[in-house]
Amino acid sequence: MPSPILAVEPHGDLQPIFDDAWYVTGSVSFKPLVRLVRNMVVLRHEGELTVVNSVRLNAQGEAALDALGKVAHIMKIGGHGMDDAYYVDRYKAKLWAADPQGGATELTEATELPLPGVKVFRFRDTLSPEAALHVERDGGLLITCDSVQHWVPHPLMSMGASIITSLMGFKNPAQIGPPWRKIQTPPGGSLRDDFDRLVSLPFDRLIGGHGGLLESGASRVLGESIERTFG
């Protein structure tokens, strides 16, 4: 089962990406004086909503979400899942996950999703299960969790978080998460092949579990990040 239901953390409003796709920038208190931003993506098909990298919303935000359609699916593509339990309980939504513990439906590249034109990308060489979603329409949108994070300034992120993330190496656009890479890389191995497959997908926009929306040129920028990281 997902984690216990947690309280609402500060967040922004639903923002459009393109037709039938939105995101919300929320936050999480990592430690005293350190508040990180995190993103939730909402995709709609025939009145049903799929929530990716869930962020629990306040009453006003939830009303705005409900106005878009019925929350029917929750997708946990990486390590973000602290608010999944709330959505599963509140909406009786179906849970999908890269790591299908607790009865969730596993997200594999062969999985047929409830969203036409959306495909699962699975990392093959990571130590724990990790996925991304590729929305094929409107120039392409890549949705990641911690693997790729486009860090930008945001009022919800504390000064302490800004300093710590900079020290951890989050200084470039479409950044391959340094801690994530360290944790996920097998001893003596490399994740280069996974990222070469990922960047070969056609996408112009990118949004990760942290940071902001990269609105154009995302494939090119990620390619530059891959070269910078792996040489």
Question: Which phi and psi angles does 126 have, rounded to 5°?
Answer: -75, 155
Q: Is 91 helix (H, G, I), strand (E, B) or coil?
A: helix
Whether 30 maps to a domain, the answer reads yes
Q: Residue 16's beta-bridge partner residues? A: 22
Q: What whole-number distance in Å separates Cα of residue 144 and Cα of residue 227? A: 19
For residue 5, the model assigns a pLDDT of 83
Question: How far from 41 is each of 28, 73, 113, 188, 208, CA to CA, in Å?
Answer: 16, 12, 15, 34, 9
Q: Are 68 and 79 in contact (CB under 8 A)?
A: no
- Output the pTM of the full model: 0.92
Whether residue 54 is predicted with pLDDT greater than 70 in this model: the reply is yes
Whether 2 maps to a domain, the answer reads no
Q: What whole-number distance in Å separates Cα of residue 122 and Cα of residue 137? A: 20
The average pLDDT across 140-153 equals 92
Whether 4 maps to a domain, the answer reads no
The average pLDDT across 179-183 equals 94
Q: 3-state DSSP helix/strand/coil percent for the chain, to nearest 5? A: 25, 30, 45
- The least confident of 70-74, 93-97, 170-174 is 170-174
Per the listing, tokens 């112009």 go with 204
Q: CATH number, domain at 182?
A: 3.60.15.10
Q: What whole-number distance in Å separates Cα of residue 108 and Cα of residue 46? A: 23
Whether residue 2 is predicted with pLDDT greater than 60 in this model: the reply is no
Whether residue 44 is predicted with pLDDT greater than 50 in this model: the reply is yes
Whether 3 maps to a domain, the answer reads no
Q: Are 118 and 201 in contact (CB under 8 A)?
A: no
The average pLDDT across 134-147 equals 97
Q: Are 14 and 23 in contact (CB under 8 A)?
A: yes
Whether 178 maps to a domain, the answer reads yes
The domain in which residue 136 lies consists of 15-230
Whether 55 maps to a domain, the answer reads yes
Whether 146 maps to a domain, the answer reads yes
* Count of structural domains within the chain: 1
